[in-house]
């Protein structure tokens, strides 16, 4: 065995050991932080998993920037909302006094909360930017109850890993991992710019997830449910978005 092949052997051995250790460390990280998104399959799965895992490791608990009141957009853009069911119009006639948010699944105390129940659980506001995947954005003040306060009231069971949420519009449902579900800026928003949340912006109640693009902030929320897996919902890809071709994770 000459010097070059011995050196090659040493390098190869070192590379193999480093590789194996790296894989083991990666597997541990994945288990600990849950770094695989529900839509990890298919052609785009590797890129999606890399993006999600890297952003989760880098950004686990960071808050987004909150802007001064002077930067609130004078005319926030009201995006199109799809067709609303008749039940929504009936509730609107009652000024949404009969609107209930059901909290169920892997929780100790299932809840059914009106908007005033939510207000009593905690009221916070944030002046943050809504950014759409299309490219446009606006800044508004969002007033609501932090999702962690609701989860604390319901008592999230330790085996819960996702929080699925559903709209009165059946085509809109989504889910958050616990990093975003427990994030202090993730709101169940019922107010905007010092007033009630207008229907055009998702009133009476919408999810507000400022660390992800606008489509995660689903409007007209009626139910949230804690689950250990998103497999049993829809096609098992985590939300309605991947079924329409869009990524489950919208942090980028």
Partner 1 sequence: MPTATQAERTTILRHTLLVRVTHWITFLAFIALLVTGIEILISHPRFYWGEVGNVNTHPIFTFHIPSSRDTVPTGYGYVLPDQNGWSRYLHFEAAWVLVLTGLVYVGWSVFSGHLRRNLFPSREERSLGAYARRIGQYLRRTGSTGDELHRYNVLQRSSYMVVIFVLFPLIIWTGLAMSPSFTSTFPLTSSLLGGRQSARTLHLFVTIALVLFLVVHVTMVALSGFRARMRAMITGKAELPAEVASKELP
Binding site for partner 1 (CB under 8 A): 43-44, 46-48, 50-51, 55, 58-59, 62-65, 67, 71, 73-77, 79-80, 129, 131-139, 210-213, 241, 244-247, 251-252
Q: Which of 118, 180, 162, 163 is CA-nearest to residue 143?
A: 118
- CB-wise, 55 or 92, nearer to partner 1? 55
- CB-wise, 169 or 225, nearer to partner 1? 169
CB of 129 to partner 1, least distance (A): 7
- CB-wise, 157 or 235, nearer to partner 1? 235
Report the distance separating Cα 147 and Cα 185, nearest Å.
8
Q: What is the pairing mode between strands 221-227 and 101-105?
A: parallel
Report the distance separating Cα 138 and Cα 187, nearest Å.
17
CB of 235 to partner 1, least distance (A): 14
- CB-wise, 119 or 124, nearer to partner 1? 124
Asked if residues 175 and 162 have their Cβ atoms less than 8 Å apart, the reply is yes
CB of 70 to partner 1, least distance (A): 12
Going by the DSSP 8-state scheme, the letter that residue 43 receives in this structure is T
Q: Which of 192, 214, 201 is CA-nearest to residue 78?
A: 201
CB of 131 to partner 1, least distance (A): 6
CB of 130 to partner 1, least distance (A): 9
One-character DSSP codes across 125-186: EEEEEEE-TTS-EEEEEEEEEEHHHHHHHHTB-TT--EEEEEESSTT-EEEEEHHHHT-TT-
- CB-wise, 116 or 136, nearer to partner 1? 136
């Amino acid at each position: 065995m000459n010097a070059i092949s011995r050196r090659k052997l040493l390098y190869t051995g070192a590379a193999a050991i480093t590789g194996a250790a790296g894989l083991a460390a990666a597997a541990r990280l994945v288990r600990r932080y849950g770094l695989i998104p529900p839509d990890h399959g298919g052609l785009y799965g590797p890129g999606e998993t890399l993006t999600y895992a890297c952003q989760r490791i880098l950004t686990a608990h960071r808050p987004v920037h909150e802007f001064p009141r002077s930067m609130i957009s004078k005319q926030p853009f009201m995006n199109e909302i799809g067709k609303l069911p008749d039940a929504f119009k009936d509730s609107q006639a009652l000024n949404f006094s009969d609107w209930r948010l059901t909290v169920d699944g892997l929780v100790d105390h299932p809840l059914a909360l009106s908007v005033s129940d939510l207000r009593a659980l905690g009221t916070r506001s944030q002046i943050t930017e809504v950014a759409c995947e299309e490219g446009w954005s606006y800044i508004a003040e969002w007033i609501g109850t932090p999702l962690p306060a609701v989860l604390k009231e319901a008592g999230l069971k330790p085996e819960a890993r996702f929080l699925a949420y559903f709209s009165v519009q059946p085509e809109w449902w989504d889910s958050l991992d616990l990093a975003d579900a427990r994030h202090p800026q993730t709101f169940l928003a019922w107010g905007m710019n010092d007033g009630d949340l207008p229907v055009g912006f998702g009133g009476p109640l919408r999810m507000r997830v400022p660390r992800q693009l606008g489509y995660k902030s689903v409007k007209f929320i009626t139910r949230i449910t804690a689950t250990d897996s998103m497999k049993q919902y829809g096609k098992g890809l985590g939300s309605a978005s991947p079924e329409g071709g869009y990524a489950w994770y919208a942090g980028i």
